[in-house]
Each structure stands twice: as structure tokens, then as C-alpha cells.
Amino acid sequence: MDEDSKEIKAEDIKVETEGGASKTLRKGSNPLIIVGILVIVGLIGLYAMRIKNRTLSSQPSTQVKGQQGAQAAATNGPVKEFTVDGSNFTFNPNTINVNKGDTLKITFKDDDGTHNLVIDGYNVSTSTIHTGDSATVQFVADKTGTFAYYCSVDSHREKGMVGKLIVQ
Ligand SMILES: [Cu+2]
């Protein structure tokens, strides 16, 4: 049945064109189909690439958003972590240098005795802890200056539990 219909088609072509031309058309019918498929595949490919380009172009915009977010965080400065060891009666280190805008994360480790770490200039203080414990405070160093940090237990400050936070 299929072959019959093909022959009919071929005859139709023959009617419209001369013998030689109809042969080439008939032979060329398969390549034409292939070309047609290639064109369709090509169009699908182009369409797929367009979609891909769209998703690719949308990704940088989210990356830009991410960078803006990072920049927004950068105005607060990086988080700078410090560990301050406290013992009877000293802080180690007893000087901390940071830049204005830095976020400070200070972990106060109590190596010996009952202590705390207080920074009046920033309204920051840890709870009073005991040997082996630690406490963490985090804040943004948003003003320049030299601020004392000290232990407010008894007369520990006078005995030497005092240090300097220098914000430049
Ligand atoms: Cu103390």
C-alpha cells in the first residue's frame, strides 16, 4: 500500500515535471526529509540554546544579587574571631586590634578561677564563668578608639585582668 502511494506520488511528479527531473525529485525525496528533520532538529537546538541562554543570563543576575549581599555584609566588615584566655590575674592576649566596622567574635576562655570579660565602651560583657568554661560575645566594632576590657569580679581588674581593644 505504501509503495503504491509512493508510486502515485512519483507519477504525480512525473506529470508535473519531465522524466529526468522527476527521478531526481524522487531520489531527492529522502534527502529532503533528512534536510527537513535536520532543520527541525536545528530549530529545536536553537530554541533549547535560547532557553539555556536565558537560564544562563538569569544566573549571573542572581550572582550579582549575591555579590550585592556580600557587599552589604562587607559594610559591617568581616567577622574577626579572637580567643582570650583569662586566669588569675591576667588576660592573654591583652591587646586586640581591629578595624572600625569589623564584627568581633570574642571567645573568653577561663583557664583558672572565676572571671568574666567586660567592655564598657561597647556595653558588652560575658557572664561570670569558672575554670574550664568559655563564653562568647559578638558585636560590631562601630566606633574607633581604645576600649578597656577587664574582669569585673572582685578586684581582678586592679590585679591585672585588663586589656585593650583598639578599633582603628
Ligand atoms: Cu577575674
**CB atoms inside a 10 Å sphere around CB 131:** 13
Nearest to 79 by CA among 106, 111, 55, 43: 106
Range of the domain at 124: 79-167
Distance 35 CA to ligand 1 centre (A): 87
Q: Are residues 91 and 21 in the same domain?
A: no
Q: Are residues 57 and 133 in the same domain?
A: no
Q: What is the pLDDT of residues 9-23, one digit of tens each?
A: 444 444 444 444 444
**CB atoms inside a 10 Å sphere around CB 80:** 15
How confident is the model over 109-138, as a mean pLDDT? 98
pLDDT grade for 77, boundaries at 50, 70 and 90: confident
> Cβ distance 134 to 62 under 8 Å?
no
Distance 156 CA to ligand 1 centre (A): 5
Distance 123 CA to ligand 1 centre (A): 18
Q: What is the pLDDT of residues 144-168, one digit of tens each?
A: 999 999 999 999 999 999 999 999 9
Domain count, the chain: 2
- Rounded to an integer, what distance in angstroms lies between the CA atom of residue 147 and that of residue 4? 100
Distance 163 CA to ligand 1 centre (A): 12
Distance 57 CA to ligand 1 centre (A): 58
| CA torsion through residues 86, 150, 97, 105, sign | positive
Distance 107 CA to ligand 1 centre (A): 15
Q: DSSP assignment of 12-38, as one string?
A: HHHHHS-HHHHHHHHHHHHHHHHHHHH
Q: Are residues 68 and 85 in the same domain?
A: no
Q: Are residues 85 and 161 in the same domain?
A: yes
Q: Helix, strand, or coil here: 4?
A: helix
Q: Which residue, 54, 73, 92, sits at the end of a domain?
A: 73
**CB atoms inside a 10 Å sphere around CB 8:** 10
What is the chain's length? 168
**CB atoms inside a 10 Å sphere around CB 26:** 15
Q: Which of 1-10, 18-27, 65-74, 110-119 is predicted most confidently?
A: 110-119
Q: Helix, strand, or coil here: 96?
A: strand
- Rounded to an integer, what distance in angstroms lies between the CA atom of residue 44 and that of residue 108? 63
Long-range contacts of 3-11 (CB under 8 A, 24+ apart): none
Q: Are residues 68 and 92 in the same domain?
A: no
Q: Are residues 87 and 161 in the same domain?
A: yes
Distance 137 CA to ligand 1 centre (A): 17
Query: What is the model's pTM?
Result: 0.56
pLDDT grade for 67, boundaries at 50, 70 and 90: very low
pLDDT grade for 87, boundaries at 50, 70 and 90: very high
